[in-house]
Amino acid sequence: MNRRVEMPGSVTTDRLAGLITLQKRLMSAKGRKEAEYVLVNDTGYLFPARQILLVANGKLSAHSGATDVEQQSPYLHWVRRVLKTFELDRRDVSRRVDDASASSPDQLMLLTPERLAERDAALGADWSEYWPREGVWIPMVWRGRLEGGLLLLREKPWNEAEQRLLTHWVQGAEHVLARHAGRKRSPVGKRLLTGAIVAMLGLLMLIPVRLSVLGQAEIVPQVSSLIRSPLDGVLKELAVAPNDPVQKGQLLARLDDAELKGRLAEARQALAVAQAEYARARQRAFTDRDASAEVPLLLARVEQTRADVDFLEQQLTRVRVEAPRAGVAIIGDASDWAGRPVQLGERLLEVADTRGAEVEIWLPSADNIPLPEGAKVSLFLNVDPSQVRDASLTHVNYRAELAPDGELAYRARALLNDAENLPRVGWRGTAKVEGEQVTLGYYLFRRPWATLRSWIGW
């Protein structure tokens, strides 16, 4: 932060030429940061100083040799206290400096450790640790308002010629800083523009729009048959492939019947034994009164074994799974089903129409809005996102459940309006469901407000 440039204190032609060069360099700055850099670093080439500080908009804005003045170092903390003590951070030009050499806010002020000690003894005691002895403050005043100033510090006193040149240099620099800051020259015009913008935004917030919610959509058949396993066993064969057309009564799958045939053979053998014992007991009943008591019991055993045979014969006929209607087979990978154990009621496949008239929509629970029956639905399929298909909402489940993507959502159904040009079953896309009409302000701030209320509990 230290820089010392030895130059004569009198106003010479070389010094005036240097001032003009410095002004050109300042005016060619491409931004406020670059202009502030020129003020606190290049000023030292023309006006010998060890440290140069720039105060703008009521705070320390730049320091010679430093790239960041926002850090909370002990030195910068002490500097801010000194600026506040000398009231150099104030922006009220109605004040008057209590020093005879600086009777008005547009005049410079000489700063010394003694003057600081008069205001704050503790700060004055630390002056020699941070700053050289002689300091000069040149304020920046723009249109009657104190915008800040430049503080230069060094060991030897500031002569009158340097003070005049510094005043001229800083006054010109304020024009450059004001241009880069983009200040509005007319506060009244700025207030009028701000008011007009606020009023326009307020009117825009009253524009009527419709609430809407987006959800994942899939084309599903309006009528379909779900094929489930008729009994427990092992799937021996899947007779259809995915998307194969099927006819009513066509074989879809076959379960392994080896176990059932074995059990049926055992049951038939048991039936034959029970019938033989029953016949022998009836013959003995004519001569043996005790044998006649066994006839009803053996008859019941015959009926039981016959029922077992009938049940197993009926189960054997159910190993063939046939199509209940014509359509297309909807199934995953057929190779995964061969030899797979299945349970009674387990889903095997689905027979449905090749074209779907209904749309299944998953509406995220976080975006839930009131949706009346018959609400307008716009469907954008992934295969052709440029085409919009219209549909009407038929119902929405009252309870949220886990969607295929693992998120909590409401399942909804919609019916496509165009019943002739139906898309294929299984096509996916995005559905936009429109709700009631609200203002644009409510539409934009509904979710942020709901999130805020969930945080604060009000």
CA 407 to chain centre: 15
Using pLDDT thresholds of 50, 70 and 90, give the confidence band for residue 4: very low
Q: pLDDT tens across 144-176, in order?
A: 677 788 889 999 898 888 888 888 888 877 777
pTM score, whole prediction: 0.45
Interior/surface letters 397-427, b for 16+ CB within 10 angstroms, e for the rest: eeebeebeeeeebbbbbbebeeeeebbebeb
Residue 336 has what DSSP assignment? G
The residue assigned the tokens 């670059």 is: 34
For CA atoms 7, 10, 16, 19, give the dihedral sign. Answer: positive
Q: pLDDT tens across 13-31, in order?
A: 777 777 787 778 878 778 7
- Which range among 88-102, 272-286, 415-429 shows the weakest confidence by mean pLDDT? 88-102
DSSP 100-136: TTB-STTS-EEE-HHHHHHH-HHHHHTHHHHS-SEEE
Integer Cα distance of 298 and 281 in angstroms: 8
Using pLDDT thresholds of 50, 70 and 90, give the confidence band for residue 429: very high
Sheet hosting strand 134-142, strand order edge to edge? 59-63, 51-56, 145-154, 134-142, 109-111
Q: What are the structural domains, with CATH classification, of the chain?
A: 13-183 (3.30.450.40), 214-221+353-456 (2.40.30.170), 226-351 (no CATH)
pLDDT at 291: 67
